[in-house]
Amino acid sequence: MPGIGPKTAQRLALHIIKRSETEVQALAEALVEAKRQVGLCKICFHLSAEPTCSICRNTNRDPGTICVVADSRDVIALEKTREYGGRYHVLGGTISPMDGITPEQLYIQSLVQRVSQEQIKEVILAIAPSVEGETTTLYVAGLLKSFTKVTRIAFGLPMGGDLEYADEVTLARALEGRQEL
């Protein structure tokens, strides 16, 4: 399990053993129940207990803007900013031939379908800038460009960041991406 090393694993195992059987039974059932209830939204593929997620069902959100992310975790991170009022599309990962992840295994085809069939004003690609992320961004942008405006989030100095402590690639991207005031 992610983030759990041998020490934490032992601590958790001992904690489970010390509990009463009813409590352990309840935890086991909760796990199975969570797995059973939570599926993917059939529109944007974000985690959802209903057939469509709460963001896709929210009529206050702009249906003309789609923010494309790699993972459901990224939706949660972007929602915390309270800055984005559009909808999402979760790809389910990034293209990575080394790990055997091809575009066909991601929800890219359904994104192209959404963009070609709905009235979409803008697609914002919000994929982290790793090698796989850049590949995915360029691949998806190439597929969508003929249908609508495609943008990507800015890369540069993080807030509170100091020029002195920023790595060279970040500084170079910050210079390259400069904007007129």
Binding residues for a copy of itself, rule: CB under 8 A, are 67, 69-71, 73-74, 76-78, 80-81, 83-84, 124-126, 128-130, 137, 141, 145, 149-164, 166-181
Pick from 64, 48, 34, 58: nearest CA to 147: 64
Pick the closer one to a copy of itself by CB: 104 or 176.
176
Q: Shortest Cβ distance from residue 179 to a copy of itself (Å)?
A: 6
Do the beta carbons of residue 48 and residue 24 sit within 8 Å? no
Q: Shortest Cβ distance from residue 148 to a copy of itself (Å)?
A: 11
Dihedral class, residue 123 (left if φ above 0, else alpha if ψ from -120 to 50, else beta): beta
Pick the closer one to a copy of itself by CB: 30 or 172.
172
Backbone Cα Rg of the chain:
20
Residue type for position 59: T
Q: Shortest Cβ distance from residue 25 to a copy of itself (Å)?
A: 33
Pick the closer one to a copy of itself by CB: 78 or 101.
78
Pick the closer one to a copy of itself by CB: 42 or 145.
145
Q: Shortest Cβ distance from residue 136 to a copy of itself (Å)?
A: 12
Backbone φ, ψ for residue 89 (5° rounding)? -145, 120
Q: Shortest Cβ distance from residue 89 to a copy of itself (Å)?
A: 14
Look up residue 33 and give its two tokens.
């129940």
End-to-end CA distance of the chain: 47
Pick the closer one to a copy of itself by CB: 51 or 85.
85
Pick from 134, 49, 136, 36: nearest CA to 89: 136
Tell me whether strands 62-69 and 86-90 are parallel, antiparallel or unpaired: parallel
